[in-house]
Amino acid sequence: MRNCCDMRGFLSFIVLKLICKRNMSGEDIRQELKKRKGSKPSPGTVYPVLKALSESGFIQEVKNGAKEKKYKITKKGKNELKAATRKFCMIFYDMKDEFQKRC
Amino acid sequence: MRNCCDMRGFLSFIVLKLICKRNMSGEDIRQELKKRKGSKPSPGTVYPVLKALSESGFIQEVKNGAKEKKYKITKKGKNELKAATRKFCMIFYDMKDEFQKRC
DNA sequence: GCTTTTATATCGGATATGCGATATTGAAAA
DNA sequence: TTTTCAATATCGCATATCCGATATAAAAGC
Instruction: Tell me the shortest Cα–Cα distance from A58 to chain B, in angstroms.
Output: 19
Total domains, chain B = 1
Structural domain contains residue A6: no
Cβ contact B40:B31 at 8 Å = yes
> CA of B3: which chain A residue's CA is closest?
A8
Q: What are residue B62's DSSP bridge partners? A: B70
Question: Cβ of A96 under 8 Å from any chain B Cβ?
Answer: yes
CATH of the domain at A24: 1.10.10.10
Q: What are residue B60's DSSP bridge partners? A: B72
Range of the structural domain that residue A25 is part of: 11-102
CB neighbours (10 Å) of residue B95?
21
Structural domain contains residue B53: yes
pLDDT band at A6 (very low <50, low <70, confident <90, very high): low
Which residues, in sequence order, are CB contacts of B78 under 8 Å at separation 6+? B20
Structural domain contains residue A21: yes
How much is the pLDDT for B6?
Answer: 54
Structural domain contains residue B3: no
What are the CA-CA distances from residue B76 to residues B23, B24, B55, B56 (Å)? 16, 17, 12, 9
Structural domain contains residue A33: yes
8 Å CB contact of B10 and A10 = yes
The percentage of chain A sitting over the pLDDT mark of 90, rounded to a whole number, equals 56
Structural domain contains residue B35: yes
Structural domain contains residue B1: no
pLDDT at A4 over 80: no
Q: Is the CB of A100 under 7 A from strand D?
A: no
8 Å CB contact of A88 and B98 = yes
pLDDT tens-digit map of A31-79: 999 999 888 999 999 999 999 999 999 999 997 767 889 999 999 999 9
Structural domain contains residue B4: no
Q: How far apart are CA B48 and CA A3, in angstroms?
A: 22
**pLDDT by residue, tens only, chain B of 103 residues:** 444 445 556 889 999 999 999 999 999 999 999 999 888 999 999 999 999 999 999 999 997 767 789 999 999 999 999 988 988 888 888 888 887 776 5
